[in-house]
Chains A and B, each alone.
Chain A
Amino acid sequence: MMDVGRHSKINLLTYSEIENIGGYIGNFQVTVRKKARYVDEKECNACAECEKVCPVVAADEFQEGFSLRKAIYMPFPQAVPSVYILDDKDCLGHNPIACGKCAEVCEKNCIDFDMKDEIITLNVGAIITATGMDVYDPTEMNEYGYTQYENVVTSMEFERLISAGGPTEGHFIRPTDRETPKRIAFIQCVGSRSNSPIGNPYCSNICCMNTIKDSLLLMDHYPGIEITVFYIDIRAFGKGFEDLYQRSKQAGVRYIRGLPGEIFENSKTKNLSMLVEDTVANTVTDFEFDMVVLSVGVIPRRDSDTIQRLLTLSTTTDGFFMESHPKLKPVDAPTGGVFLAGCAESPKDVKDSVTQASAAAARAQILLNAGKISVQAITSQVLTDLCTGCQVCVKVCPFHAITGGDAKLKIPVEIVEAACQGCGTCAAECNFDALLMRHFEDKQIISQIDAITSENPSEKVVVFACNWCSYGGADLAGLSRMQYPTSQRVIKTMCSGRVDSKFVLHAFEKGAPILLVSGCHYADCHYIDANRWTVKRVDKLWDKLERLGIRPERLQLEWISAAEGQKWANTMKDLEKMRAQVTQEEIEYTMKVLKEDREKSEARKKKKAEMKESVKEIPIDVIA
């Protein structure tokens, strides 16, 4: 920590928040708000004179509220930077001049009540997101009585109570009578591995080992203390972990597989009792303890949605940031030039955080070292003569890569090529064919549909599959030798968001009996949320088909991940069954109706264009 404060290459901005991030890989512009701490960071020498005279006391957040601090304070003794901060909400007031005692004693005159927030702009090539995690708050779990019973504490509070730098200077006591407890229980998986709406379904990864560590600390400090750990499974999977677990057991810590149903407090002794079923021994025992520690889980940072929005990141179902690829790109964010480190990506311990941070730093260095970045040629291009400036594409682009455009002034939009990731949603949504999705152009895809439907179309199922998930799911099905009917013909797009309504209608018009649009599950979309537009489009297509008297069921939608080979194979079997039920008359009717509908809309467009032309031809003075 100290090294960071001293390093000449590190510009440390504490008490600062990111306001905005613009730009793209290699060229980000970042706006930072450095909040006023009312103490000059360069001048303060942490002499502590101000703290002595400050009349205001507040709960000390660092000590989990177990002790008090002043309104002007040092966050904790080893803080970096080693500088005081004045909390303007705690300070005497809205009118600090009323007191000003701290400013009077400050020899270096570094307290400035008029200090303002500072806005700083940074230009960077890469961003490492290490926003960390929060700790689960077990208040909602009524059965454990946290906040109701004083002697029930969380594992974070335990850390402060046992720490030499804590409120008790390392003398471990229980809150009610300030005596060292003789019988302590640890309850595992509090807020983790839950299959009820309370808590989270995932394993928080660190709590088992943290409890084992805590048990050994207690055994070291207070030989003879009775420790009982209630658990579902002890997950000691890392290097040296099993060894520590065995040491804890040998030291006499009792491990019981089973969690208490409810905790009761004895109102006189303030001791805590609970009934626990030991699922190994098949016994039910009534326990009494002096103190209970809830081994709380890890949750995504409560304020992480800000950075998520600014960097267009996505999260997995558990709320942690999603990596680019779970195995091959575990520290790259899906947004180019952004890397993930630490618990922002998933719950992890210190060692894993450090490992991932070094990996993220190395990945960032590859980019910085090269000094240039080659952008894949699969990006969108604007055909300026066709663009009306309607800005539909601006709205749908998940990467904010399309800017400008004005429908009134007929100014076409512009594409920031470096930010474009190539999903093609813009091209699919454009009503004027004004966006050209390179390498996945309309006519390239239409030619594929034509090739499929040129011979015996009624025997084939047209399948659109996204490059990352569904196409991969099909690959996995093949790799696993899962057998399915031969009727399907795959057209690959980068994202299901590229599947234009006109592709679907064209395929039906050419005689396709059944059509499938497939893409990534919501949480896995490689283009953040481009597949949400796929759903909207398919919804509209179902409406349109129904309106035209075509069975909407002939258009199917499935999310198939690269890991779901089985789902792919099953879907193909299902589609073949559906295909067999589509009659020749139905196909012919569809072809006729869609042809008429297309010709009608083309005629309308033509007429509209002619009208516009004629308006243009009228000289201005005639209108005037």
Chain B
Amino acid sequence: MEEIDYKCMHCGNEYRGSFDKLIPIERTCPKCNSNSIRRAKKKPRKP
């Protein structure tokens, strides 16, 4: 499972979270619990 950047469209919180194309997981903001979570547009950073 890879890690990508997310941004909460509700409170503006930006965080990194796991992402799996095959098993989509419900996105929830760790700060405000909103589900308005946007995938970062850019490709995930390579470590």
- Given A543-B41, A556-B10, verify A521-B34 contact (CB < 8 Å): no
Kindly identify which residue among B24, B26, B38 contacts A552, using a CB–CB cutoff of 8 Å: B38
Docked Cα-Cα span, A559 to B37, in Å, equals 11
Residue A310 at the chain B interface, CB threshold 8 Å: no
Nearest Cβ distance between residue B33 and chain A, in whole angstroms?
Answer: 9
Chain A residue nearest to B34 (CB atoms) is A558
A558 with B24: in contact, given A552-B9, A553-B10 (CB under 8 Å)? no
Residues on the B chain within 8 Å of A553, using CB: 9-10, 36
Q: Chain B 6-29, CB within 8 Å of chain A: the 1/0 string?
A: 000110000000000000111100
Q: Tell me the count of chain A residues lying within 8 A, CB to CB, of chain B.
A: 17
In the complex, 9 of the A-B residue pairs with CB atoms within 8 angstroms, ordered by the A residue number, are A522-B24, A522-B25, A522-B26, A532-B24, A542-B9, A542-B38, A555-B9, A557-B37, A558-B35
Known: A535-B27, A559-B26. 5 other contacts (CB 8 A): A532-B24, A539-B38, A539-B39, A542-B38, A557-B9
* Dominant secondary structure at the A interface: helix
Nearest A residue to B32, CB-CB: A574
Please list the residues of chain B having a beta carbon within 8 angstroms of any beta carbon in chain A: 9-10, 24-27, 34-39, 41
Select from chain B the residue with minimum beta-carbon distance to A557: B36
Per the bound structure, the CA–CA distance linking A523 and B10 in Å amounts to 22
Chain A positions within 8 Å of B, measured between CB atoms, are 521-523, 529, 532, 535, 539, 542-543, 552-553, 555-559, 574
- Shortest beta-carbon contacts, A-B, top 3: A522-B26, A557-B36, A556-B36
A543 to B40, CA, bound (A): 10
- B36:A558 contact, CB within 8 angstroms: yes
Cα of A556 to Cα of B29 in the assembled complex, Å: 13
A556 to B35, CA, bound (A): 8
A556, closest chain B residue (CB)? B36
Q: How far is the CB of A623 from chain B (nearest CB, A)?
A: 43
Closest Cβ neighbor of A546 among chain B residues: B41
What is the bound-complex CA distance between A532 and B39, given in angstroms?
Answer: 13
A552 partner residues in chain B, CB cutoff 8 A: 9, 38
Q: How far is the CA of A329 from the CA of B38 in the complex (A)?
A: 35
User: Shortest distance in angstroms between B15's beta carbon and chain A's nearest beta carbon?
Assistant: 16
